[in-house]
A and B are shown apart, each in its own frame.
Chain A
Amino acid sequence: MMGQRRTAGPTASFSSKTKDGVAAGQQDSTKHNICMVSDFFYPNMGGVESHIYQLSQCLIERGHKVIIATHAYGNRKGIRYLTNGLKVYYLPLQVMYNQSTATTCFHSLPLLRCVFVRERITVVHAHSSFSAMAHDSLFHAKTMGLNTVFTDHSLFGFADVSSVLTNKLLTVSLCDTNHIICVSYTSKENTVLRAALDPEIVSVIPNAVDPTDFTPDPSQRDDSKITIVVVSRLVYRKGIDLLGGIIPELCLKYPDLQFLIGGEGPKRIVLEEVREKYQLHDRVRLLGALEHKDVRNVLIQGHIFLNTSLTEAFCMAIVEGASCGLQVVSTRVGGIPEVLPEDLITLCEPTVSSLCQGLEMVIARQRAGTVPPPAAIHSRVRTLYTWRNVAERTEKVYDRVAKEVVLPLDRRLVRLRAHCGSVAGSIFAFVAVLDFLFLLLLQWLIPDSLIDVAIDASGPQGLWGQRRARKRELNANHHEGTGTG
Chain B
Amino acid sequence: MGADSGPGAPSAVPWRKVLYERQPFPDNYVDRRFLEELRHNVGVRQYRYWPVVREASLVAQQLSCVAVFLTLWWYMYEGQLSPFMLLLAGLMSALLGYALYEALGGSTDGRRTRLADLQSAAIFLAFTFGFSPVLKTLTESVSTDTVYAMSAMMLLAHLVTFPYTQPSPPGSLSLNAALFGSVCLASRLPGALHTFAMLTCALLVFALWPCLLRRLRDRAEWGFPWAAALVSVGGVCGLASQSPGGALLLALALLVLILLCPLLLLWLQRHKNNIHGPWDEAEIREDLSRFLQ
Contacts and interface: CB of A to CB of B under 8 A. Distances in A.
B12 interface: no
Contacts of A156: 279
B286 A245 contact: yes
A437 interface: no
Interface residues of B, number: 33
Contacts of B285: 351
A200 B30 CA distance: 7
Contacts of B27: 203-205, 393, 396-397
A199 B34 contact: yes
Interface in B260-293: 274-286, 288, 291-292
B34 A389 contact: no
B288 A242 contact: yes
Interface in A232-253: 237, 239, 241-242, 244-245, 248-249
Contacts of A397: 4, 27
B5 interface: yes
B183 to A, nearest CB: 36
A278 B38 CA distance: 42
B85 interface: no
Interface stretch (A21-29, A336-344, A448-456): A336-344
Q: Which of B34, B282, B283 has the most chain A CB within a 10 Å cutoff?
A: B282
A185 B291 contact: no
Contacts of B282: 239, 310-311, 331, 333, 350
B103 interface: no
A96 interface: no
Nearest to A190: B279
A427 interface: no
A400 B277 CA distance: 30
A130 to B, nearest CB: 15
A93 interface: no
A186 interface: yes
A274 B292 contact: yes
Given A204-B27, A245-B291, A184 B19 contact: yes
Contact of A311 (B28, B37, B281): B281
A199 B30 contact: yes
A193 interface: yes
B1 interface: yes
Nearest to B25: A204
A189 B34 contact: yes
Interface of B: 1, 3-5, 17-21, 26-28, 30, 34-35, 37-38, 274-286, 288, 291-292
Top 6 nearest A-B pairs (CB, nearest first) are: A396-B4, A203-B27, A350-B282, A190-B279, A311-B281, A155-B279
Interface of A: 155-159, 184-187, 189-190, 192-193, 199-206, 237, 239, 241-242, 244-245, 248-249, 270, 273-274, 277, 310-311, 314, 331, 333-335, 337-341, 350-352, 384-385, 389, 392-393, 396-397, 399-400
